[in-house]
Amino acid sequence: MLSIENLTVRFATQDGEVAAVSDVSLKVAKGECLGIVGESGSGKSQTFMAALGLLATNGQASGRVDFSGTDLIGASEDVLNTIRGNKISMIFQDPMTSLTPHMKVGRQLAEVLRQHRGLSGEDARTQAIAMLKRVHIPEPERRLEMYPHELSGGLRQRVMIAMALMCGPELIIADEPTTALDVTVQAQILDLLRDVKESMRTGIVLITHDLGVIAGLADRVAVMYAGRLVETGTVREIFADPQHPYTRGLLACTPRLDDPTYGALPTIPGQPPNLQRLAAGCSFAPRCPFVLDACLLERPPLRPFAPGRAKACIRDDLERAS
Ligand SMILES: Nc1ncnc2c1ncn2[C@@H]1O[C@H](COP(=O)(O)OP(=O)(O)O)[C@@H](O)[C@H]1O
Ligand SMILES: [Mg+2]
């Protein structure tokens, strides 16, 4: 359904060029959930902003992005608007950035229904109530009369998801959808997304800095570091047998969502590199416990090492080395 090939994103800044995304290739099939994981600043959001034609004006994308046969990188604003409104929906961390603060929830939902399905009046209201029920919002009639700030964070995120579902999208891009929520509510929102995926066969891209979030929802995982993919595989493989030292580091820092000490995260020592001055070798080398001299000389390409799995690391002996 969505195919990204060799996507590169550069930002022009006063201090030089920022290599935000470098040579990323990804695919999302219908009804599949792809998890994108990596520390803050690793290029997760900009990969999909570029794919949807939403880069800031100082950004430049190259590569190919194909959505069900339409090339999005070269597409006109009209084509992009149609696809973004009808086929691909986005959900962000902070619903307040997408909800209008001074407009009642009911009116906002009705507006989306009017634009996308030509519904108005009672029809729009009935549909809006049905959609709020669909995302398990209690007392939907009462919520329609409320302003976004009158809702809890969890309910606001449910309203966002309801809005995202209004157009019957084929793909939802959820960028840190649960990051601002406490653990219990986080789990409820992830349950809801799983339910949407299973009952409506909606593809989902789940972007998160927290590997714990994707465990119950993603089918496949792509791990990003410093603008590049460093490992890809099924969610089972990534959790049971991580093969890139960075994935291992992330996993060691990931408590389970149901762990009472959740939130007290250890972190991988060191800092991600400056994207304006990337060194020649592997970007993770300065933080890598398995680093070899060769890692500093040449950037390891992402290479397949087992069916459906790939990693950007020259070492195949992590078991023996650790
Ligand atoms: N408009 C911009 N100008 C310059 N740099 C930017 C701009 N937007 C994003 N970046 C940089 O691109 C990199 C990747 O950002 P992003 O994709 O948002 O990371 P993530 O979502 O993984 O946290 C970051 O270093 C960020 O500072
Ligand atoms: Mg982001």
Tokens of 199: 């009952």
Tokens of 40: 């803050």
Q: Residue 60 C-alpha to ligand 1 middle, in angstroms?
A: 12
Number of the ligand 1 atom closest to the C-alpha atom of 38: 22
Q: Residue 55 C-alpha to ligand 1 middle, in angstroms?
A: 10
pLDDT along the chain (322 residues), means of 10: 97 95 97 95 96 95 95 92 90 80 91 85 90 90 93 89 89 91 86 92 94 91 97 95 94 68 67 92 95 95 95 89 70
Amino acid at 239: F
What does 55-122 look like in DSSP terms, one character per residue? --TTEEEEEEEEETTEESTT--HHHHHHHHHHTEEEE-S-GGGTS-TTS-HHHHHHHHHHHHH---HH
Number of the ligand 1 atom closest to the C-alpha atom of 47: 17
CATH class of the domain defined by 2-87+168-269? alpha beta
Report pLDDT for 262: 53
Report pLDDT for 280: 92
Q: Residue 137 C-alpha to ligand 2 middle, in angstroms?
A: 27
Report pLDDT for 27: 97
Report pLDDT for 260: 55
List residues bridging with 174 in a β-sheet.
91, 206
Task: In whole angstroms, give the CA distance from residue 282 to residue 296.
Answer: 6
